[in-house]
Amino acid sequence: MSEAILEVNEVTKTFGGLVAVNAVTMHIEKRRIFAVIGPNGAGKTTFFNLVTGIYKPDRGSIVFDGVDITGRDPAVIAGMGMARTFQNIRLFGSMSALENVMVARHVHTRTSYADALLHTPRYHREERKARDRAMELLAYMQLDHRAQELAKNLPYGEQRRLEIARALALEPKLLLLDEPAAGMNPQETEDLQRRIVGIRDDLGITIVLIEHDMKLVMSISERIAVLDYGKKILEGTPEEVQNDPRVIEAYLGPGAAEGVQ
Amino acid sequence: MKKLFQNSAFLSLLIAASAVIFGYWLLENPRSTLAFLLTLGALLAAFMLDIPKWLKVLVGGAILLLVIPWAGFKNSFLFELGVQTGIYAAMALGLNVVVGLAGLLDLGYAAFFAVGAYTWAIFGSKQANQFMPWHIFPLPGAYFYLFMLVAVVMAALTGVIIGSPALRLRGDYLAIVTLGLGEMVRVLANNLDHPINITNGPQGITPIQRPPIDWFIALFDKFGIHMSRAEAYPLFFYFLVLVIIGIVTLVNIRLDRSRFGRAWIAIREDEVAARAMGIPLLPTKLLAFATGASFSGAMGALFAAKQLYVSPESFTLIQSIMILVMVILGGMGSIPGAILGAATVTILNVDLLKTASDYLNDLRNAGFVLDLGIFKYNFANLPNQLEPAKYERMVFGLIMILMMIYRPEGIIPERRHVAEMKEKE
C-alpha cells in the first residue's frame, strides 16, 4: 500500500439537528483517482467543504500530506496544494479566463506590494511567469483561444474546463472535483474523462471526484466511497461497489436490491 | 453620417477644433459656466473617443495645463473648482479600490480624510504646543510634504485598526459598522480637546501652515509672469493636485494589474472561490482598506493646507456618502469612472447648482414674466425656498435613482484589461 495523501479520521459535521457528515473516515492514496458517490443530500459536498477548510469539523481530524490541517483556513490549505472545483461553477465572472487562472497563481507569485507599485524587475518577471504558466494551463485545457474572453461569457462546458485550469494553477498535489460532468452531453463527458485521467498521469495529481454519472465513475475511479445520510456505508473497487446491495438500497430505497437482482 | 463619426481622422479634427474653440471661449469668458463645461466636454471626448494617443495628450495637456490656469487667473473660482475636484477625484480613486475592486462597502471613508487633515493641522499649527514639549510648533511649511507621507501612514494605520474588526463582516453589516467607526473618528475629533487638548474640539484648528512657494513664484517670474503670493497659492495647489492625481491614478492602475488587484476582484466576485484559490481573506481585505485609506489621508493633509482651517464638521457622513456617489456614478471598479464621477458631482455641487440658484434669483428680482400664451408666470412670485443649491442631496438622490434604473454599471463601466496580451508582445 502506498502512502496516503489525505487521511480523514472520524470527521463529523452537524448543522443544527442535521448530521451532514457522520464520523466519516477515508484514506486516499497518492496518485489515485478516488470517487465519492451517494444520493443527493448524502453529505458529499459538505465532505469536500470540510476537507478544504470551508467548514470546520465538529469532531475528527484531517491530515493532508502528513500535516494536520483540521480547522485551518481554506487559503492556507489551498496554498499547501489542495485545489478544488465547485458543483455550481464559481468562476470570477467579470475577469477574463486568463485572469481567472492567474488569480490562482497568487500564492506562487512573489511580487511584494512595493514591487507592484514601482514596477521593479521582479514584478515584471513574476507577472510574466504567472501569465505564461496560466497560458500553458489554458492550452492544456484547450482554452487558450478564449484567454481574453470574460469568464461569464464562456459556454458552460468551457466554464467547467476553466475551473479545472484555475484549480491546476495552484500546482496542487490533490484535486477535488465536485460533479465535473454535471450538465455535460455524452461527448463532453467522454472528453472530460480523458482529461481527468490525463491530469493524474501527466501531472501526478491525486484526484477525488464527486459524480453522479455512474458510467464516468465506474470507468475511471480506482476506489469508490459511498456516502448515505452523512455516513460512509462502503468503500471499495468499482466492481465491489457495483455489486453491493447496500449501494442500490441507498439510491433506490430499502428492498430495491432484490428487485434489481 | 454614422460612418463619418467612426472615422478617426474626422473625429480627431472635430475634437481638436472643439477643444480650440471652447478653450478660446473660456479664456475670453472665464466666468461662463457654459464655456467651462464645454471645455471639459472636449477634454472628456478626447479621452473617451478613439483618436490617436498623441492628440489625447495634446488636448488634455493644453486644457489642463494652459487653458484652465490661464482662465483661472481671471476667475480664481476655477482653481477652487479644480482643486476640489482633484481632492475628491483622489478620494474617489481610493474608495474605488475598497468598494469598486474589493467590493467592500465602506460608509466611513471620510474618517481617513479626517485623520490625514488633522495629522498636518495639528503639527502644522500651534495646536501641537498644547500637548507636546519644546514649543517648536508650528513646523515650517516645508514639512508639509513629509507630513503628507505621515498622513498616508496614519490613515493606513487607522484603516487597519478600523478594518481589523469590521472586515470580518460582510455586505450590509460591514457598511453599518464602517459607518459607526467612521463617525467615531469625527466624534473623537470633536471631543479630544480635553483632558489634553489635541484637536481643539469643535472650534477646529487654524491657521495651518502652507508649503512655501517662493520657488514657484520665482519660477514663473523667469517666464515673465509675476504673481503675488495670494494669486500664486491657488495655482500652486491646482498644479500640486494635478501631480497627486497623476500619482494616485498610476498607483491605482498598477495595483489593479498586479496580483493584489486580481485578488481584490476575486474576493469581490466570489469570496469562497477566492479562498479556495489560496487568497487569504482578511489580509487581502485589510490591504485594500489601508490602500484606500492612504489616498484619503494624503488628500486630507492637502485639504488642511489649502483651507488653512480644519474642524470636525468637514468630515461628516454626508462626505463619505458623496464620495461613494462619485464612485457609483462613474462606474464601480473603473479608474476613469471614479475621476469623472468626482468631477461631475463636484462641479454640480460647487458650480452648477449655485449658478442655477443665482439665475433663478436674478429672474425673481427682475420680476421676469414667462408668457406662453395660455400660461403666464411671474417669477417675482417664485417662492424663496426654491433654490437648487439647497436641494443638492435631493439632486444626488435623483441622479442615483436614475443611474440605478438606466445605467447601473456607471457612466464608464469597468472593463477588464483586454490589452494584457498585447502588452506582452
The domain that holds A185 is classified in CATH as 3.40.50.300
Which residue would you say has higher pLDDT here, A21 or B419? A21
Per-residue model confidence (pLDDT) at position A258: 65
Place of cell 507599485: A117
- A187 and A199 fall within a common domain: yes
What's phi and psi for A143, nearest 5 deg?
A: -125, 5
Which of these three, A153, A169, A185, is where a domain ends?
A169
**What CA–CA distance (Å, rounded) separates B66 from A142?**
53
The answer for A 69-98 residues in CB contact with B (under 8 A) is 73-76, 78-79, 83-84, 86, 90-96, 98
- A159 and A198 fall within a common domain: no
A94: chain B residues, CB-CB within 8 Å: 265, 269, 414, 416
> What distance in Å separates residue B159's CA from the closest CA in chain A?
17
- A2 and A38 fall within a common domain: yes
Task: Kindly give the pairing relationship between strand A59-64 and strand A33-37.
Answer: unpaired
Cell of A11: 470527521
Q: DSSP character for B139? A: P
Q: How many domains does chain A have?
A: 2
If phi over 0 gives left and psi between -120 and 50 gives alpha, with beta otherwise, what is residue B382? Answer: beta
Task: Kindly give the pairing relationship between strand A82-84 and strand A174-178.
Answer: parallel
DSSP string for A44-105? HHHHHHHHTTSS--SEEEEEETTEE-TT--HHHHHHTTEEE--SS----TTSBHHHHHHHTT
Per-residue model confidence (pLDDT) at position A257: 62
The residue type of B72 is G
Place of cell 457495483: A242
Per-residue model confidence (pLDDT) at position B221: 82
The residue type of A22 is N
Cβ within 8 Å of residue B118, ≥6 positions away: B189, B199, B205, B300, B304, B310
Per-residue model confidence (pLDDT) at position B314: 86
- A103 and A160 fall within a common domain: yes
Most confident of A79-83, A109-113, A243-247: A79-83
- A198 and A182 fall within a common domain: yes
Nearest chain A residue to B268 by CA: give it. Answer: A92
Cβ within 8 Å of residue A191, ≥6 positions away: none
> What distance in Å separates residue A138's CA from the closest CA in chain B?
14
pLDDT along chain B (425 residues), means of 10: 68 83 82 83 82 83 83 83 91 92 91 94 83 78 90 95 89 90 90 84 86 84 81 88 92 92 94 94 94 94 91 88 90 89 88 83 82 79 77 83 88 64 41
Which residue among B273, B414, B416 places its CB closest to the CB of A90?
Answer: B273
Q: DSSP character for B198? A: S
Which of these three, A128, A144, A169, is where a domain ends?
A169
Q: Which of A149, A165, A178, A148 is nearest to A51 (CA)?
A: A178
Residue A77 pLDDT > 90, yes or no? yes
Task: Kindly give the pairing relationship between strand A33-37 and strand A223-228.
Answer: parallel
Cell of A13: 459535521
Q: Which of B351, B327, B346 is nearest to B413 (CA)?
A: B327
What's phi and psi for B398, nearest 5 deg?
A: -60, -45
Contact (CB, 8 A) for B91 and B258: no
- How many of the other CB atoms lie within 10 Å of CB of B359? 12
Q: Average pLDDT of A34-56?
A: 93
> Is B259 at the interface with chain A, CB within 8 A?
yes
Per domain, the residue ranges of chain B are: 1-75, 77-333
Cα within 13 Å of Cα(A117), Cβ side: 7
Per-residue model confidence (pLDDT) at position A98: 95
Q: Is the dihedral of CA A110, A113, A114, A117 positive or negative?
A: positive
Per-residue model confidence (pLDDT) at position B293: 94
Cβ within 8 Å of residue B76, ≥6 positions away: B231, B234
Contact (CB, 8 A) for B236 and B216: yes
- How many of the other CB atoms lie within 10 Å of CB of B116? 32
Q: For residue A86, tell me if it sits in a domain.
A: no
Determine the distance from the C-alpha atom of residue B345 to the mean position of all C-alpha atoms in its chain, rounded to a whole number: 9
- A249 and A204 fall within a common domain: yes
Q: Is B186 helix (H, G, I), strand (E, B) or coil?
A: helix
Q: Which of A1, A167, A205 is nearest to A86 (CA)?
A: A167
Rg (CA), chain A: 19
- A15 and A144 fall within a common domain: no
Instruction: Decide if B254 and A119 are in contact by the 8 Å CB cutoff.
Output: yes
- A68 and A108 fall within a common domain: no
Per-residue model confidence (pLDDT) at position A31: 92
Per-residue model confidence (pLDDT) at position A159: 94
- A15 and A77 fall within a common domain: yes
B420: chain A residues, CB-CB within 8 Å: 96, 98-99, 131, 148
- A16 and A28 fall within a common domain: yes
- A68 and A111 fall within a common domain: no
Q: For residue A87, tell me if it sits in a domain.
A: no
- A139 and A63 fall within a common domain: no
Cell of B367: 420680476
Per-residue model confidence (pLDDT) at position A36: 94
Residue A62 pLDDT > 70, yes or no? yes
User: What ipTM describes this predicted complex?
Assistant: 0.91
pTM of the full predicted structure?
A: 0.88
Determine the distance from the C-alpha atom of residue B246 to the mean position of all C-alpha atoms in its chain, rounded to a whole number: 13
Contact (CB, 8 A) for B276 and A52: yes
A107: chain B residues, CB-CB within 8 Å: 278
Q: For residue A88, tell me if it sits in a domain.
A: no
Domain that residue A229 falls in: 1-81+172-261
Q: Which of A194, A168, A18 is nearest to A100 (CA)?
A: A168
Determine the distance from the C-alpha atom of residue B372 to the mean position of all C-alpha atoms in its chain, rounded to a whole number: 42
**What CA–CA distance (Å, rounded) separates B213 from B262?**
41
**Distances from the Cα of B385 to the Cα of B307, B378, B388, angstroms:** 30, 16, 9
Q: DSSP character for A222? A: S
Per-residue model confidence (pLDDT) at position B1: 55
Which of these three, A137, A169, A201, is where a domain ends?
A169
